[in-house]
Amino acid sequence: MEGVITCFHTKCVSLPIRSFPLSRVSSLPRWRNNKLISSSRSVHLRSLCVSSSDTLVASGSPKEDERQSKVSSKKEGDDSEDLKFWMDKNGLPPCKVILKERPAHDQKHKPIHYVAASEDLQKGDVAFSVPDSLVVTLERVLGNETIAELLTTNKLSELACLALYLMYEKKQGKKSVWYPYIRELDRQRGRGQLDAESPLLWSEAELDYLTGSPTKAEVLERAEGIKREYNELDTVWFMAGSLFQQYPFDIPTEAFSFEIFKQAFVAIQSCVVHLQNVGLARRFALVPLGPPLLAYCSNCKAMLTAVDGAVELVVDRPYKAGDPIVVWCGPQPNAKLLLNYGFVDEDNPYDRVIVEAALNTEDPQYQDKRMVAQRNGKLSQQVFQVRVGKEREAVQDMLPYLRLGYMSDPSEMQSVISSQGPVCPVGRG
């Protein structure tokens, strides 16, 4: 039989990733990280910590970090209590959540803090409402500066600006108004509730686990994009003079190495909230009770929402007191979840495998096949999406097209052309 399919490959967006003990996330039973829909390779457990430096700014060697951690814990008490106290003192209204902690997968790390219900909640309850004064947005960061020119340069993203702002704020230490929040971000190290890092922070050896997957190219491309933004950071310094004149530090590329900026960028990427129906300067926000203290979930609809003077969370399901609160991460396939947050969700309804197929333009019957395909709503180069839970429907949609492509008998082709039904219908057998 003459081969007439010239392009037929899959882009698997559910990818192999190291598993880790579910006991670490036992309160999130539907989040599983140990197997994937399209996984075809077994992968070894990897260490989830690839840097000994703090998330926003490196503070020294691992031993020095450990020593400082012990001193800090003795002098300052629990970080979560400090964060909540800071928010209460600065205008947080009474809410229905508390901060709790669970052990980290890597025992070298501090326990992971998370937002939990302080009382039984019903669907539709407002869990918390964080006033705008405690929310970090470009509107707040840049003040009276015009951000349009900055953002339309196509060189710097909102995430880069927010990361740079918090990096300079961290250099001020306890003098910074954001000190308790920055310390919490450092504690989480961009790991989120599943104690996993984005592959943007993986070593080259760890990235080899993704060899053969299109996600590896996406990771490298995103890393290059972060590098380009780093090279443009000094632009922010000069364009937003009123913002940075308060900092007695060097310009960005002299004050921070690329590796430090990348860690900060990835940390901000993992917890930034995309607000809807707000102005350009407020669409990306850092909310102290939001991620990474909230767990992301693909199959819930609870979203952090901008209301008059605040950002609030209305729960989409009932919770018992002590249950961790989850929030929707948007309609992202597992490849995007892995890239942005370092985890995948086996129950992700937005996960998919993309299959591309094309009719052979050198096939003598190409024009007839193209006509039949168009008559049935298909193109000569067709993309099919196989979604979780709808695999059967996707296969039934693909097979007639593939049979058409492989058809070589002219009499069979004429039968298909004269038929008014589906292209090469699939039998029940």
Residues 121 and 161 in one domain: yes
How much is the mean pLDDT over the chain?
A: 76
Q: How many residues does the chain have?
A: 429
Does residue 200 form part of some domain? yes
- Nearest Cα to 298, choosing from 194, 187, 185? 194
Could you give the C-alpha distances from 293 to 19, 195, 270, 296, 353, in angstroms and in order?
22, 11, 11, 9, 30
Residues 271 and 409 in one domain: no
Q: Which positions ≥6 away from 349 have C-beta within 8 Å?
A: 298, 299, 387, 388, 389
Residue where a domain terminates, one of 318, 341, 364: 341
The whole-angstrom separation of Cα 146 and Cα 255 is: 24
What pLDDT sits at residue 89? 92
- One DSSP character per residue, 64-117 reads HHHHHHHHHHHHH--HHHHHHHHHHHTTPPP-SEEEEEE--SSTTSPPEEEEEE
Give mean pLDDT, residues 53-74: 42
Residue where a domain terminates, one of 306, 341, 376: 341
Q: What is the pLDDT of residues 69-120, one digit of tens each?
A: 443 443 444 555 588 889 999 999 999 999 998 888 877 878 888 999 999 9
Residues 310 and 392 in one domain: no
- One DSSP character per residue, 369-387 reads HHHHHHHTT--SEEEEEEE
Residues 93 and 189 in one domain: yes
Does residue 2 form part of some domain? no
Does residue 41 form part of some domain? no
Full residue range of the structural domain in which residue 108 is found: 83-341
Give 67-70's long-range contacts (Cβ < 8 A, gap of 24+).
Answer: 69/110
The answer to whether the pTM exceeds 0.75 is no
Of 22-36, 153-167, 204-218, the poorest mean pLDDT is in 22-36
Inform me whether the pLDDT recorded for 24 exceeds 60. no
Residue where a domain terminates, one of 284, 319, 341: 341
Residues 301 and 356 in one domain: no
Per-residue confidence band for 56, with pLDDT thresholds at 50, 70 and 90: low
- Of the two residues 132 and 236, the one the predictor is more confident about is 132
Domain total of the chain:
2
Does residue 365 form part of some domain? yes
**DSSP assignment, residue 425?**
P
Of 158-172, 320-334, 341-355, 373-387, the poorest mean pLDDT is in 341-355
**DSSP assignment, residue 121?**
B
Query: What CATH number did the domain enclosing 197 receive?
Result: 3.90.1410.10
Q: What is the pLDDT of residues 281-337, one digit of tens each?
A: 788 999 999 988 998 888 889 999 999 999 999 999 999 999 999 999 888 888 888
Question: Sign of the C-alpha dihedral, residues 162, 222, 327, 86?
Answer: negative
Give mean pLDDT, residues 123-152: 78
Residues 253 and 330 in one domain: yes
Encoded amino acid at 199, one letter: P
Does residue 386 form part of some domain? yes
Does residue 346 form part of some domain? no
Residues 364 and 318 in one domain: no
Is residue 370 classed exposed, middle or buried when 0-12, 13-18 and 19+ CB atoms within 10 A define those classes? middle
CA angle (304 as vertex; 385, 193 as ends), nearest 5 = 75
What pLDDT sits at residue 224? 95
Residues 262 and 392 in one domain: no
409 within 8 A of 2, measured Cβ to Cβ = no
Burial pattern 223-241, b for ≥16 Cβ within 10 A else e, equals beebeebbeebeebbebbe
Residues 114 and 235 in one domain: yes
Residue 39 backbone phi and psi in degrees, to 5:
-70, 130
Residues 295 and 388 in one domain: no
Does residue 54 form part of some domain? no
Residues 240 and 363 in one domain: no
Inform me whether the pLDDT recorded for 378 exceeds 60. yes
Query: What CATH number did the domain enclosing 405 receive?
Result: 3.90.1420.10
Residues 249 and 211 in one domain: yes
Q: Number of C-alpha atoms within 13 angstroms, CB side, residue 133?
A: 9
- Of the two residues 321 and 409, the one the predictor is more confident about is 321
Encoded amino acid at 379, one letter: L
What pLDDT sits at residue 11? 35
Does residue 127 form part of some domain? yes
Give mean pLDDT, residues 176-199: 84
101 within 8 A of 193, measured Cβ to Cβ = no
